[in-house]
Amino acid sequence: MKKIFATLFIALCSLGIACAQDLEKATELYNNAAAAIDNNKAEAITLFEQALEMAGTLGDEGAEIVSQCKGIIPKLYISLGKEYVKEMKYDDAVAQFGKAIEKGEAFGDTDVAEEAKTLIPQILMAEANQALKAKDFAGAVDGYQKVIDADPTNGQAHLLKGQALAALGKTDDAIKAFELASENGQEEAAAKQLSNTYVKKAVACQKAKDNKGALENAQKSTQYVDNANAQKIIGLSALQLKQNKVAAEAFEAYLAMTPDAITKEPGIVYNLGTALIATGENDKACGYFQKIAQDAKYGEGARYQITQLKCK
């Protein structure tokens, strides 16, 4: 760090005593600030700002000190902010980066200002991620919102905020967050989250005996990512609502995704057969009833249907 000694004696000879004393004091402050940089950046910043203020009143005689202070102060703020990041003092780090932006723009150091603008969302994201990892979901929501306030196009922040909201049981708010994530570059990840969220809503409706709600939410789930759980719920709910064609299509989709369900879930196969009868697709129904004709629980009913349909 440059120290200012060389021109002091000459300047003192040409200035009044009071002004000369101010220049001497500003120089001392500058040199003390330079000496403090390695051990105490916060103190160094304070001293440089004091030197800048004092030198700024001295006109041309203080110009060199002013220039040197303006060159170092924004950089010290960003450097101190990075130290706070290492110590996981995220709020303090953000405050220092904010000062780096303010001073960088005021003193013409645009590189520092732009770097600080880039770092702030990263630090806010790290703080929010830490809260999410600790299962502090309310804190994570607040943290991700700070990131979004700084950068509304941060799709990852919207996505993770949605996950935290979902963990808090705020399903509708989570859906809005996932939709915003999808609009900001997180289409695939957001689609998975939306699909899972609507399946959970469908399951809740099932438990509440709300077949219409279960059907609607399960269908929304498949609009984002087709999945076996949603298709099964669609089939069961549609069957209760006497929407037999919808039920048959959903059950067939479910069996296509989980082939072992034919032996593990013969009830689904039986329900599919009855839905197909209702839609007039008797030949297909026969095929499914025959698959479970020997099942201990559903075999008797399947054999009865085989007889009634005169299956070949």
State the DSSP string of 12-47: HHHS-HHHHHHHHHHHHHHHHHHHHTTT-HHHHHHH
Half-sphere exposure of 115 (CA within 13 A, CB side): 16
Nearest to 195 by CA among 183, 184, 182, 207: 182
pLDDT tens sequence across 258-305: 999 989 999 999 999 999 999 999 999 999 999 999 999 999 999 999
pLDDT tens sequence across 171-226: 999 999 999 999 999 999 999 999 999 999 999 999 999 999 999 999 999 999 99
Do 111 and 81 form a contact (C-beta atoms < 8 A)? Answer: no
- Residues 6 or more apart whose Cβ sits within 8 Å of residue 15: 23, 61
- Asked whether residue 10 carries a pLDDT value surpassing 70, the answer given is no
Helix, strand or coil for residue 302? Answer: helix
State the Cα torsion 86-88-92-97 to the nearest 10°: 50
Say what the pTM is.
Answer: 0.77
Longest dimension (CA), the chain: 121
Nearest to 244 by CA among 216, 273, 203, 267: 273
Across 99-109, average pLDDT: 95
Where exactly are the structural domains of the chain?
1-109
